[in-house]
Amino acid sequence: MSLSAVKINSSTITERLIKVAKNTLNKVTDMMLLPIVGITIFLFVWSITAQSIHTSLGEFPGPNAVVKQFSSLYDEHVIEREKAEAFYNRQEKRNAAKLAKNPDYVTKIRAYTGKETFLEQIITSLMTVTAGFIFAVIIAVPLGIWMGLSKRINSAFNPIVQIFKPVSPLAWLPLVTMVVSALYVSDDPMVSKSFITSMITVSLCSLWPMVINTSIGVSTINNDLLNVSKVLRLPTLRHIQKIVLPASIPMIFTGMRLSFGVAWMVLIAAEMLAQNPGLGKFVWDEFQNGSSSSLARIMAAVIVIGFIGFLLDRVMLQIQQKVSWDKSS
């Protein structure tokens, strides 16, 4: 009697274990195995087709060539760093020697002017896109709130938003370049003109999704919450701070994520034309360079651009979940 009970028990336990194992196996398959299979197929197709495309710069780079370029890009970075360090060392020694000869000598420190490496260009790009995006947020969120609060303001501005939204960055860029050249004049500029031009172009293109989402978020706030604010007679600023902003945060962040995606895409094009020393310029320079490894290096940049775009979106999602009260969005 008890023996059979034990038997049943142990059999149910093994059954359960099998179930758990199956579940985890399914999860692992979904999370890891299938993406790996997908990527493998992609790499396979890529390398097959690459072999059969012949360009004036040689064979189209397959995965192998691109991986090789990744390591050489890194090596170049290391070498360039060493050169820079050597340059500064020499400068320091020279200055010390001059000071020893003549104690009144005012030392001059010059910056190293070697070419930017791939890693430095990534950092430039990240800084440019962040600056442009923040500039866009500063304009778009207040404008969106204003439009959301008043139907009249919305009617007034909505046509402008709708017309400028689909404009390509390439159309803006010449205008921005000329305006920046005319207005941003200084003997000792803090940042380069190309940086400003790229940044503003990024802002101009990433503004609109944020404006639209913010204004929709604000105009669709639950009427009951607005009534609460009315009964409390909250002054306008407090009303915005305590009710409007938190209530529309989920929508605002959705707009921000869309905008950041747009900003990153626009940036590459802007950097190409504005010659801002970021990833866009890297791609352009490699294209102009036209060496046998150029295409592989561009392909490496494409992959990096994709990865960074993906990571930026994840970061925005994390921030959204931290800030927003609505955990479902």
Partner 1 sequence: MNTSNTASTAKVAESPEQTFLNISQVDMVFPTATGGFTALKEVDLQIKKGEFISLIGHSGCGKSTVLNIVAGLHIATTGGVLLKNKEVNEPGPERAVVFQNHSLLPWLTSYQNVELAVKQVFNKTMSKAEMKDWIEYNLKLVHMDHAMDKRPDEISGGMKQRVGIARALAMQPEVLLMDEPFGALDALTRAHMQDSLMEIQHELNNTVIMITHDVDEAVLLSDRIVMMTNGPEATIGEILDVNLERPRSRLALAKNVEYNRLRSEVLTFLYEKQRKVENISENKLVTKRAAKQQINS
The answer to the question of residue 1 lying near partner 1 (CB under 8 A) is no
The answer to the question of residue 13 lying near partner 1 (CB under 8 A) is no
**One residue of 43, 232, 311, 317 binding partner 1 per CB under 8 A:** 232
**One residue of 65, 143, 240, 243 binding partner 1 per CB under 8 A:** 243
Closer Cβ to partner 1, 33 or 232, answer by number: 232
In this structure, the strands spanning 54-55 and 58-59 are: antiparallel
The C-alpha atoms of residue 172 and residue 199 are separated, in whole angstroms, by 12
The answer to the question of residue 246 lying near partner 1 (CB under 8 A) is yes
Closer Cβ to partner 1, 256 or 279, answer by number: 256
Phi, psi (degrees; rounded to nearest 5) at 58: 95, -170
Sign (positive or negative) of CA dihedral 121, 126, 131, 133: positive
Residue 88 carries which side chain, given as an amino acid letter? Y
The C-alpha atoms of residue 111 and residue 232 are separated, in whole angstroms, by 60
- From 3-11, 51-59, 225-233, 294-302, give the range in contact with partner 1 by CB under 8 A: 225-233
Alpha helices, H only, the chain: 2-28, 34-51, 63-101, 118-149, 151-164, 169-183, 193-219, 223-232, 236-239, 245-274, 279-289, 294-323
Is residue 280 a contact partner of residue 267, using CB atoms and an 8 Å limit?
A: yes
The answer to the question of residue 225 lying near partner 1 (CB under 8 A) is yes
The C-alpha atoms of residue 283 and residue 273 are separated, in whole angstroms, by 11
**C-alpha distance across the termini of the chain, in Å:** 55
CB of 40 to partner 1, least distance (A): 43
The answer to the question of residue 67 lying near partner 1 (CB under 8 A) is no
The C-alpha atoms of residue 133 and residue 301 are separated, in whole angstroms, by 22
Closer Cβ to partner 1, 169 or 217, answer by number: 217
The C-alpha atoms of residue 177 and residue 159 are separated, in whole angstroms, by 26
Is residue 59 a contact partner of residue 50, using CB atoms and an 8 Å limit?
A: yes
The answer to the question of residue 227 lying near partner 1 (CB under 8 A) is yes
The C-alpha atoms of residue 243 and residue 230 are separated, in whole angstroms, by 11
The C-alpha atoms of residue 48 and residue 62 are separated, in whole angstroms, by 8
**One residue of 234, 265, 302, 308 binding partner 1 per CB under 8 A:** 234
The answer to the question of residue 233 lying near partner 1 (CB under 8 A) is yes
Closer Cβ to partner 1, 218 or 269, answer by number: 218
**One residue of 32, 97, 228, 315 binding partner 1 per CB under 8 A:** 228
Give the DSSP H or E segment for 103. Answer: none
Scanning residues 134 to 173, which ones bind partner 1 (CB under 8 A)? 151
Is residue 232 a contact partner of residue 226, using CB atoms and an 8 Å limit?
A: no
Sketch the per residue contact string, 247 through 286, with partner 1: x for CB under 8 A, - otherwise. x-x-------------------------------------
Closer Cβ to partner 1, 145 or 263, answer by number: 145
- From 14-22, 186-194, 237-245, 290-298, give the range in contact with partner 1 by CB under 8 A: 237-245
**One residue of 19, 83, 230, 314 binding partner 1 per CB under 8 A:** 230
**Count residues contacting partner 1 (CB under 8 A)?**
21
CB of 154 to partner 1, least distance (A): 12
CB of 244 to partner 1, least distance (A): 11
Residues at the contact surface with partner 1, assessed by CB under 8 A: 151, 222-228, 230-234, 238, 242-243, 246-247, 249, 325-326
